[in-house]
Each structure stands twice: as structure tokens, then as C-alpha cells.
Amino acid sequence: MTDTAILGPPLSLRILRFPLTRIVVLGSVLFYFMGWAQSWLDDYHDAPVLNAVIQIVLGLAAIGVYLAWGTLIERREVTELSTPGLAREWAIGALCGAGLYTASAGILMLLGIYKVEGFNPALFLLPNIAMAIKSGIFEELLFRGVLFRSVETMFGSWIGILVSSIAFGAVHLMNPGTTMGGAVYIGIEAGLLLSAAYLVTRRLWICMGFHTAWNYFQSAVFSGVVSGAVSDPGLLKATIEGPELLTGGSFGMEHSVVALVLCTTAGVILLLTAIRRGHMMSPLWKR
């Protein structure tokens, strides 16, 4: 046995493999990448098909960076992005995301708050595809792939959920039409739901599918405001009038108590499923 084998990996590599370093270094790279993708999203807003292609290419590049870190630095199989079952898990997540948003809008329709007055041309379905792709890939790589997994490795799944949910809500304070209430709501409902979705499969595809479909249906189909940022009209011509508690106000549906109840309930169900499957991780000192 060589001296290298006895001593293990060099100090520099051990530092890079430390979860906190992963958050700082890999998280910073992906956060920069996400900002770069946003700039392309803004620049090519009037060319929706090209914009979607650009976001797919940038998203694949970001996935490549994530895979390279796991393979070359951490020297592990990056199971959270393994491809068997990718399409099925992404589709399940997308169906859940589309279904939950449709259910939220449906409740507001029954209450007479969301009123459909007609339809825009089908081309209105195109512009927000790129936005949905960008948020689904980059935010899940960053908040579930890097932040949640790194905190979970050190402090266990419960603290991972808490920290990633707070950070996920806080980052939405950067959006132009944001509110503190909206950030708190999105941290609770989406932070829990997306972390729980990851825990059920311990893979990121279902989270990406959910996130992409929720944002797409919210904007491209129901013409809603996405997290206080995107407010382009979609397929449905609609008026939304009612108390902010139900409509979400300038932040959009994520600040509605309707979405809070539906998404948090779904998150609790997924979390119980993950617990039954034995997918929760204990803190480092208990393993």
C-alpha cells in the first residue's frame, strides 16, 4: 500500500469536498450561471423559441458543471442526476406542478375572484417557456442540489429543509414586485414541497419538472404574476379581483393562502412518503 493510499486525498481536495466549501464554490458558480441565464432571458425576450433553446443549452451546461464537481472533486456517482427514469420523474413532477396551480386557480374561479374573459392567440404560450426552463433547472440545481444536499450532509434532512426553504424564500426578495409576505409564503409552501419531492426519489428531476410546470402554467396559461417578477399575458384573458389574502396581490399566486394550503399539504404528503421509504438522513454526528 502506497503512502498516498494511507494518507488519503490531499488537503486541498478534502477542503473542496467539505459541504460548506461546496455551498460557497459550486453554489457561487451556479448562482453566477443563473444570473447569466437571466440576462440572456431578458435580451431575447422577443424571440421566444431562440430564447428557450438558449436556456436549454445553458441549463445543460450548468448540469454539466454540477456533474463535473461531483465526479471529479467529490469522486462519487452523481445519483441525483442519473438518467434512468429521468423522463418519468420529470413528467410526474410536471403533472403535479400543473395540477396544483390549476387547482389553485380553479378555487379562485369558483369564488368569483379569477374571471376568464376570453383567450389570447396560441402564440402567447411561447414567451414564458424560456423563463420556466431557466427557473426549473437553475433554481433546483442551486437550492435542492447544492444547498439542501450540503446542509443535509452535515445536519440532517430536517435542517436541510429549513435552511434551503429560508434561502429559497429570501432570494425571491430580489424580484421587482416582491413582498415580504410573498417570500415567507414561497419559503413555506415551495421550500417544503420541493425539498420533500427530492427526498421521495432523492433525485432532482421531479423537482425540476414541478418547478418548470408551475411557473409555466402560472404565466403562459393563466396569465398570473410569477413570484413578483414575470407578468406577461398568457393564453387566458383574465381579471383577478379580490382580497390579497386570496389573490396574492403583486407577488402572484404564491402569496395566496389557497396556494399555501394546497402546496404545503402536498409537501407534507410527500415528506411522509419519504419518511416511510427511509429516505431521511440523520445529522453527521448520529451516522
224-252 per-position pLDDT tens digit:
888 877 778 899 998 889 999 999 988 88
Q: How far apart are CA 206 and CA 113, in angstroms?
A: 31
Looking at residue 1, what is its pLDDT? Answer: 46
pLDDT of 110 reads 96
H or E element: which one contains 72?
Answer: none
Enumerate residue ranges in the chain where pLDDT < 70. 1-7
Question: What pTM was estimated for this model as a whole?
Answer: 0.92
Domain boundaries, the chain: 84-286
Contacts 24+ apart (CB under 8 A), 54-60: 54/130, 55/130, 55/133, 55/134, 55/137, 56/133, 58/33, 58/134, 59/133, 59/134, 59/137, 59/138
Burial level of 84, CB count in 10 A (0-12/13-18/19+)? exposed
The confidence score (pLDDT) of residue 179 equals 82
**Per-residue model confidence as pLDDT tens digits over 90-132:** 999 999 999 999 999 999 999 999 999 999 999 999 999 999 9
DSSP secondary structure code for residue 174 in this structure: G
Q: Kindly tell me the burial class for residue 260, based on how many C-beta atoms sit within 10 Å of its own C-beta (0-12, 13-18, 19 or more).
A: buried
Question: Is the CB of residue 25 less than 8 Å from the CB of residue 13?
Answer: no
